[in-house]
Amino acid sequence: MHAIDNAPDTAGLVPLAAEIIQFIQETPSIFTLRLRFTDPAAHAAYRFAPGQFNMLYLPGVGEVPISIVSDPQDEHLYDHTIRAVGRVTHALANLREGSRIGVRGPFGRGWPLTEAQGRDVVIVTGGLGCAPVVSVINYILKRRAQFGHLTIMQGVRHADDLIWRERYEAWAELPDTQVLLAASDGSPIWPWHVGHVPDLFDQARLTPGVSLVMMCGPEGMMRAASGDLIARGIPERDLWMSMERNMHCGMGLCGHCQMGPKFVCQDGPVFNYPEIKALLARKGV
Partner 1 sequence: MQRRFIPRQGLEPLIRQTLDAGYRLHAPQSTDGAILYRPIHHSGQLPWGLHDHQAPGHYRLLDNGSPRAFAWATGPQALKPLLFRPSEPIWTLDLDSDGRPSFIGAAHTEAPLALLGLRPCDLAALALQDAHFLHGPYPDPAYAARRRGLLTIAVNCSHPAATCFCAATGDGPNAQGGYDLLLDELDDGYLIESGSAVGKTLLDRLDTLPATDMQLEAMATQRASAVRAQQRKLPNAEQLARLPAQHDHPHWAEVAERCLACGNCTAVCPTCFCHAHRETPALDGQSSVHSREWDSCFTSGHSYLHGHVVHTTTRERYRQWLTHKLAGWVEQYGRSGCVGCGRCITWCPVGIDLTVESAALVDANPAQGE
- Site residues, partner 1 (CB under 8 A): 1-4, 7, 9-17, 38, 57, 59-63, 85-86, 89, 99-102, 244-246, 248-249, 251-256, 258, 260-261, 263, 266, 278, 282, 284-285
CB of 253 to partner 1, least distance (A): 6
CB of 160 to partner 1, least distance (A): 19
In the complex with partner 1, the residue whose CB is nearer, 101 or 241, is 101
Pairing mode, strands 100-107 and 78-83: unpaired
CB of 180 to partner 1, least distance (A): 26
In the complex with partner 1, the residue whose CB is nearer, 62 or 186, is 62
Give, in order, the Cα–Cα distances in Å from 127 to each of 38, 155, 162, 215, 219: 34, 6, 9, 12, 10
- Residue 57's SS3 state is strand
In the complex with partner 1, the residue whose CB is nearer, 189 or 282, is 282
CB of 35 to partner 1, least distance (A): 13
Dist CA 241 CA 111 (whole Å): 8
In the complex with partner 1, the residue whose CB is nearer, 61 or 141, is 61
Reported in sequence order, the residue ranges of 171-283 that DSSP labels E, i.e. its strands, are 177-185, 193-194, 211-216, 239-242, 258-259, 262-263, 270-272
Total Cβ atoms within 10 A of residue 176: 12
In the complex with partner 1, the residue whose CB is nearer, 13 or 174, is 13
Give, in order, the Cα–Cα distances in Å from 81 to each of 66, 95, 155, 223: 8, 13, 18, 25
CB of 11 to partner 1, least distance (A): 8
CB 53 within 8 A of CB 67: yes
